[in-house]
Structure 1
Amino acid sequence: MVRLSSRSVLIGLCLATQQIHAALTVDLDSPESIKQAASQVAEDLLTFYRGDEPGWVPGILPGPPPDGDYYWWQGGAMWGTLLDYRHHSGDKTYDDTTTTAMLFQVGDDRDFMPGNWSASMGNDDQAFWALSALVATETGFTDPPAEEPQWLSLAQAVFNEQTHEDRRVPSGNCKWGLRWQVYPTNNGYDYINTIANGCYFNIGARLARYTDNATYGELAGRTFDLMERLGYVDKDWNVYDGAHLPDCTDINKAQFSYNAAMLLQGAAFMYNFTDGEEVWRNRIQGLLDRTLEVFFPGGIAFEPSCEPGNCNADMRSFKGFLHRWMASTAILAPFTYDTIMPVLKTSVAGAVVQCTGGDNGRFCGFHWTTGVFDGKVGAGQQMNVLGGLTSLLAANPPLTNSSGGTSVGNVNAGSGETKLTQLPDITTGDKAGAGVLTAAIIAGTLGAFAWMSFD
């Protein structure tokens, strides 16, 4: 079990149990105060979004570089962050904006593959939009009009396409690994990374739980097995970034929090779906212990592979994912709750203290351990603190199609080239419409995310 130093605990408790007097003022013992502070962070986050203004594209943040700081995937990640905030706070201010933004980016095949982003389309990019669609599905977000693609079917479309052999390594040591990039012409097509494979694992675990379809879970489990076999997750539960073809042995041992958190949350969904199978409990415990050691060295979130050096705009959004996905782990795997939630509270206390920037004196920086605003604002920094505050409000498990979920699925969703074969449904009257997926297409397992900014 991971133990924080007594000094770190003392500092954290002092921060977390007292009202924090900064430009962003919040009492972390009061849910209403947390919601109020989160509403201010959300408001400031949306100042970076211009997609609802004339001449700008709905759904995306300004970019990609050099035209702006942000890649296409970060728009998808932002809507997922806001959907989580909406669910835990009850604030519906951004409902119409979120729906318009996400549906604008679904593409002609209703699979989050708009043609104008093909030059930089990664499997991880597509997956982050699917993950946000899953948040909408699992939190009971308002369903789109019937003629529009539905949240669940969008996630299924992405999973179907990424399961197809065209996205995967056909043979050798890396067999069935999901490539980072979708198209052979893109830089990174030969990189088999943890985030792409980890997203697929996470989506599969969540679809299994939501639809009660065991085949999604089998594919998710196979993916985690592959990442362990390739050494992307080592015996000490370090989670590395990925490796290249032909044999995936040149492992990039950079550790990023979103890789570890993506796998941790996916394992929690599998634990919950399998009614507490020991293999998933052990994986959760190993990943959690190492995550706390690597990414909370003093009790406050820290990104060791780039901080305090030069984290790019992608990396400056990771802390929010870390907090959100750890919080959902605590709910889905309750044996972790008493370990996770105090750490998140201490970390968020460190985050809020430094939110003293911008014209209104409450914008946040990226460096949380210093207690001082670092002078740089951005969408990622706001997403981090919003995700952190939201994580402290986590209470109820995500919905399933048998516990109040309303989103309609389509097992054949996705483009014709990458569609999964439909077999008979596991359960009758399945509102989500999820059939058993054919396993014949599969022949391996996955990895996870690598950085688009490596290009």
Structure 2
Amino acid sequence: MLFTTKIAGVAPLLLAAASNVYGATTLQVNLNDTASIKTAAKTVAKNLISYYSGNQPGQTIGILPGPPPAGPYYWWEAGAMWGTFIDYWHYTGDDTYNALAKQALVFQADPPQNSFMSPNWTASLGNDDQGFWGLSAMLAAEVNFPLAPGEADWLEMAQAVFNTQAADDRHDDECGGGLRWQIFHSNAGYDYKNTIANACFFNLGARLARYTANSTYSDWAEKTFNWIRDVGYIDKNWNIYDGGHVPHNCTDINKVQWSANAAIVIQGVAIMYNMTEDAEKWGKPLTGLVDRTLEFFFPKGVMVERACELTDRLLCNVDQHSFKGYLLRSLATAALMAPGLVRDPIIKTFKTNIEGVIDSCLADGTCGYRWNVGKYDGDMNNGPAGQEMSALAAFSTYLITEEQAVIKPLVTNSTGGESRGNPNAGEKPATLMSMSELTGKDRAGAGVLTAFVVCSILGTYFFLATGIGERQK
């Protein structure tokens, strides 16, 4: 299976000897060679950046072409893409795209508030949209991503996002707490409280707590994770569902499962376990979530976005074409944060999954969406930047399986972190509230993405709304 093309004139013995080297019409990768894996990642990264034109005259810095109808991509996806490039640098050491990523994050943070709430996007802004940019800024702080003196601080950007989402005007008592998908009443989806919005807030709180050692962040994170579980968005078998509607007290749970929701939740739980070493509170959920996620999304060892990537047809939209990469990046973090609990099953899965990824990529780094068909699928109709992002994440994170690869740990302010931050960053609140000041309506959730609002009719999902960032205004 490792050879995806027939190579004329090569003896079977030589083919067997080269069993970890892929064929010429696909991206050539020797999985026993760290340098070869990095070269493959570099090829895919070059392909991915070709979809970005924000550094060209007359274009908007930091975003992919869009939003519709101007182009296929919504604002949030560019935030996720820059996080993918930051991880690419962290794992491979290639700084080719660092300047573009830095320029994009600084510009879209919208100084001086730096809360990623630019007037260009505020009218249609979801908590998840803002959250994805905040998570990329947080990653930049954790990996000491370069930033020139005098420029906005990565940690400050992440704190600004957290503070605006922890503010009173983002929370209410409906469904017992939790963030709404949308920020403003006028936006479609305001009556939906979903996993993605709350997972992003939980994830960001967990990582801020680890970086700063400020218990206010960890209190928020724990409260939010408990809300996601208590409302039923995570069931007893560790399935993670999409959300519910306020008019139904969030009991009409949309049980579609997206890899992006699992990604953001798992990473946050892994961070909390790393910080607390609490086996019951965080270790048990982490192992349960990882085991179920690997079982569900990697049914034969290769990742499938099961809600839309059907055997006979592909229903995934532009947003969803990028989801696989978020799960791989988060699983890699979990393996590094909690190696004794989840590293082995994650490494095993990465080693089977990468074969499908390589099969899907051409020699120039053009990668298909389906990783389980043994070839490039030719899918270019739904925002190919998303599937390139996922392929780049697959190659970058695969380096955690290589013993000779040197991967620096995520830093904190006490272990070499250079971002100093500002606990009062953002438009509001002026200061962080302590948990002792919280009322019921302050129990925040942090969200993970919502791709569709789905209903079940005769056992079949019909997609009624499009997902993170994709909403009809």
Give TM-score scaled by structure 2 length.
0.86
Q: Which structure 2 residues correspond to residues 28-427 of structure 1 after superposition, within 5 A?
A: 28-108=31-111, 109-146=113-150, 148-168=151-171, 170-172=172-174, 174-246=175-247, 247-308=249-310, 309-335=314-340, 336-356=342-362, 361-377=364-380, 378-394=384-400, 395-415=407-427, 418-419=428-429, 421-422=431-432
Aligned to 1:426: none
Deviation for aligned residue 1:66 = 1.8
Contact 1:83 1:136 survives alignment (8 Å): yes
Alignment partners' CA distance in 1, 2:129 and 2:357: 27
Runs of 4+ more than 6 Å apart: none
Structure 1 residue identity aligned to 2:259: S
Deviation for aligned residue 1:277 = 3.7
Alignment partners' CA distance in 2, 1:213 and 1:349: 42
Contiguous gaps of at least 5 residues in structure 1: 1-13, 424-435
Alignment partners' CA distance in 2, 1:83 and 1:124: 20
Deviation for aligned residue 1:167 = 1.0
Alignment partners' CA distance in 1, 2:19 and 2:315: 32
Alignment partners' CA distance in 1, 2:281 and 2:50: 44
> Per the alignment, in what secondary structure is the counterpart of residue 192 of structure 1?
strand
> Per the alignment, in what secondary structure is the counterpart of residue 120 of structure 1?
coil
Matched residue pairs, number? Answer: 421
Alignment partners' CA distance in 2, 1:282 and 1:17: 38
Structure 1 residue identity aligned to 2:101: T
> Per the alignment, in what secondary structure is the counterpart of residue 453 of structure 1?
coil
Structure 1 residues 288-327: Cα deviation after superposition (integer angstroms, max 9, x where no partner): 1110111001100100000032100100001111111101
Contact 2:209 2:216 survives alignment (8 Å): yes
Alignment partners' CA distance in 1, 2:223 and 2:160: 19
Q: Percent identity?
A: 48
Alignment partners' CA distance in 1, 2:263 and 2:132: 14
> Per the alignment, in what secondary structure is the counterpart of residue 99 of structure 2?
helix
Structure 2 residue identity aligned to 1:268: A
Aligned to 2:449: 449
Contact 2:65 2:71 survives alignment (8 Å): yes
Contact 2:90 2:408 survives alignment (8 Å): no
Alignment partners' CA distance in 2, 1:239 and 1:297: 16
Contact 1:175 1:443 survives alignment (8 Å): no
Q: Which moved more, 1:389-398 or 1:191-200?
A: 389-398
Deviation for aligned residue 1:437 = 7.2
Alignment partners' CA distance in 1, 2:148 and 2:438: 33
Alignment partners' CA distance in 1, 2:210 and 2:142: 10
Structure 2 residue identity aligned to 1:370: V
> Per the alignment, in what secondary structure is the counterpart of residue 48 of structure 1?
coil
Alignment partners' CA distance in 2, 1:389 and 1:420: 42
Aligned to 2:6: none
Structure 1 residue identity aligned to 2:470: S
Structure 1 residues 231-281: Cα deviation after superposition (integer angstroms, max 9, x where no partner): 000111110011111311111111000101111110000000113442100
Question: Structure 1's 439 and 326: CA in aligned 2 closer, same or farther, altered over 3 A?
Answer: farther
Aligned to 1:6: none
Give TM-score scaled by structure 1 length.
0.89
Contact 2:238 2:289 survives alignment (8 Å): yes
Question: Structure 1's 17 and 118: CA in aligned 2 closer, same or farther, altered over 3 A?
Answer: farther
Alignment partners' CA distance in 2, 1:390 and 1:210: 23
Aligned to 2:13: none
Deviation for aligned residue 1:17 = 6.1
Alignment partners' CA distance in 2, 1:81 and 1:262: 14
1:440 aligned to 2:438? yes
Contact 2:44 2:364 survives alignment (8 Å): no
